[in-house]
């Protein structure tokens, strides 16, 4: 496991993102929406760095596919509770990969009447992008690699690491499968 972004680097970048978002939304209503589960730590840190009035809500998405690939077939398993008509929404995501989840969710929120949907993602991973989605507030930009920690997981592992590390997803899945208890 190799460290890619230290806890200190992340904290510094989150502070910068918060300052930029504060400037951009000053005097405008803001609804910050956390995409569960991966963004939960980033979201909690980010909203504390935004110094303007805001409300929060949560959505949860599921994507059918293997542990390391999203299939593009996306399901909202926890919908937003706020009435979003005419609201300025800031979607807060852990990492953008193909962009399919965010592109689906932005379209969904726009159809429900949001007046604007912007995206803040801690990591903007470029290599496998399949949509033209724009990340308005990217934390870090990366070409490729599978990351865990600071909310990010592989098969639900490592979300509690304070830093972000790169792992080999195939090796991790193999190890996790070997750990599974079996009947004897």
Q: Which residues are near Mg ion by CB under 5 A?
A: 38
Annotated catalytic, 83?
Answer: no
Active-site residue (options: 45, 94, 97, 124)? 97
Give the number of C-alpha atoms closer than 13 A to the C-alpha of residue 146, restricted to the C-beta side.
17
Q: Identify whether the C-beta of residue 155 lies closer than 8 Å to the C-beta of residue 175.
A: no
Binding stretches for ligand IMP (CB under 6 A): 38, 70, 93-101, 125, 146-147, 152
Q: Identify whether the C-beta of residue 93 lies closer than 8 Å to the C-beta of residue 39.
A: yes
Least distance from C-beta 81 to ligand IMP, angstroms? 20
- Residue 152 interacting entry, from Mg ion, ligand IMP, none, C-beta within 5 to 8 Å by type: ligand IMP
- Residue 124 interacting entry, from ligand IMP, Mg ion, none, C-beta within 5 to 8 Å by type: none
The smaller minimum CB distance to ligand IMP, of residues 45 and 93, is found at 93
Question: What residue is closest to Mg ion based on CB?
Answer: 38
Hey, what's the torsion of the CAs at 113, 116, 121, 125, to 10 degrees? 90
Positions marked catalytic: 97
């Amino acid at each position: 496991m190799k460290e890619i972004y230290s806890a200190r680097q992340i904290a510094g970048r989150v502070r910068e993102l918060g300052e930029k978002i504060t400037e951009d939304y000053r005097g405008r209503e803001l609804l910050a929406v956390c995409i569960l589960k991966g963004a939960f730590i980033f979201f909690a840190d980010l909203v504390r760095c935004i110094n303007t009035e805001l409300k929060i809500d949560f959505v949860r998405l599921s994507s059918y596919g293997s542990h390391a690939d999203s299939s593009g077939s996306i399901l909202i398993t926890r919908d937003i509770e706020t009435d979003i008509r005419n609201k300025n929404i800031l979607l807060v995501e852990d990492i953008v990969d193909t962009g399919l989840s965010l592109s689906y969710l932005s379209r969904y929120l726009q159809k429900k009447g949001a007046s604007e949907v912007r995206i803040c993602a801690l990591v903007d991973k470029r290599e496998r992008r399949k949509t033209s989605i724009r990340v308005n507030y990217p934390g870090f930009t990366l070409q490729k690699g599978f990351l865990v920690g600071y909310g990010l997981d592989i098969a639900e592992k490592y979300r509690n690491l304070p830093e972000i590390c790169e792992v080999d997803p195939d090796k991790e899945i193999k190890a996790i499968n070997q750990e599974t208890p079996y009947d004897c």
